[in-house]
Amino acid sequence: MKRQDTLLASIEKANLDGILLVKDSNIRYISGFTGSESYVVVSKRGKAFITDSRYTEQAEQECPGFEVVRWRSPFPELEETIKKVCERFGIKRLGFEKDVVTYERYEKFRDGFGDDIELVPTSGLVEELRYVKDSSEIECIRKAAQIADSAFEELLKSIKPGITEKDIEIELQYLIKKKGATDIGFPTIVASGARGSLPHAVPSDRRIECGDFITIDFGALYNGYRSDCTRTFAVGRADERQRYIYNIVKRAQQIGIESLRPRVCGKEPDKNARSIIEEAGFGENFGHGLGHGVGLEIHEQPFMSSKCDKIIQPGNVVTVEPGIYIPGWGGVRIEDTVLVTENGPEILTKITKDLIVI
Ligand SMILES: [Mn+2]
């Protein structure tokens, strides 16, 4: 209820009579609905959950306080259904999420609603509320992180020269689900040997060789919430250059985490971690931002790059994930999911960052 009340306050502040939500994660946050392809209208006068026959029963169970309105044959079409809801709730100025409503969908709404309802583009009204996690959300992320940690530790036992990156991906997915996750948190990245220079490598048929570095970026989904963790480790042995570069990234990651304190600007941790990598001469090999928020989505606010203007707050859950990527050689990335507390950062993904050699 508190979330809905806070949203109502934001709507009023934006001088709107109501808001139409179409983004699944925002709908879930506000209504509790775990499905997809549905629409929510929130206003002072009422709250409607608009969906078709696939989801009406589920919505009635999951969304107390919402009037469930069915559309699609034999019921009226979507535009007409939403229009009627707005008329009943006295909505003349209706906000919509401009970053997710396609132009085609906007045209259909505009033409279907006519002159009586003004469509007003909005940005981040619900995301702004999701930015600071409450204790129930933090517990879900914590649980997701625990499951993923445990799965990774078990996965290591089965990695040996000769198996492929895809074998690793499949085994990790199996372990994450077996240990109680709803699903994996996002498509797993497995990058071995020279492929390690690809920050977002899709697992391939490449076979693991002795002396490889392997980077695995993985997470679990638990009750709608995600964890995100990356480790780079060696198979059989690690040479001097591998250890040297690993330790630079490890140091940068540590500095990034230590910088993650309430009331600092989100660009600060990026700057501090990046300076370690730059001073070591690898600035050009670290092309992405330091990290991002994690929650109902795998990538959400705050996006911690050099351009971030968000202020870090207790209750933010973010990743810290510097990397060094060298074409032809490979790469290293180390990532944790970190909770910001009043007392400083708390690391939720707890796998060791001492170089693992299996
Ligand atoms: Mn990440």
Q: Nearest to residue 235, comparing CAs of 335, 164, 321?
A: 164
Residues 102, 187 share a domain = no
Residues 145, 123 share a domain = no
Residues 206, 142 share a domain = yes
Residues 97, 64 share a domain = yes
pLDDT at 1 over 70: no
**CA torsion sign, 10 to 14 to 18 to 24?**
negative
d(CA 195, CA 168) in angstroms, rounded, equals 15
d(CA 137, CA 144) in angstroms, rounded, equals 11
Cβ neighbours, 10 Å, residue 15: 9
Q: What is the pTM of this model?
A: 0.94
Domains in the chain, number: 2
Give the distance (Å) from ligand 1 centre to CA of residue 335: 7
pLDDT at 127 over 80: yes
3-state secondary structure of 331: strand
Give the distance (Å) from ligand 1 centre to CA of residue 23: 21
Residues 117, 100 share a domain = yes
Amino acid (one-letter) located at 75: F
Identify the domain boundary among 85, 104, 130. 130
Residues 236, 142 share a domain = yes
Angle, CA 225 vertex, CA 268 and CA 43 arms, to 5°: 90
State the burial class of residue 120 (Cβ atoms within 10 Å of its Cβ: 0-12, 13-18, 19+): middle
Give the distance (Å) from ligand 1 centre to CA of residue 76: 42
Residues 250, 176 share a domain = yes
Amino acid (one-letter) located at 46: G
Residues 194, 104 share a domain = no
Confidence of residue 263 (pLDDT cuts 50, 70, 90): very high
Confidence of residue 125 (pLDDT cuts 50, 70, 90): very high
The pLDDT value recorded for residue 181 is 98
Residue 357 lies in a domain: no
The H or E element that residue 291 is part of is: strand 291-293
Give the distance (Å) from ligand 1 centre to CA of residue 21: 26
Give the distance (Å) from ligand 1 centre to CA of residue 134: 21
Q: Check which CATH number belongs to the domain holding 21 and give it.
A: 3.40.350.10
The pLDDT value recorded for residue 317 is 98
Residue 86 lies in a domain: yes
Cβ neighbours, 10 Å, residue 254: 16
Q: Which domain holds residue 321?
A: 135-347
pLDDT at 350 over 90: yes
Residues whose Cβ atom is located within 5 A of ion ligand 1: 228, 319
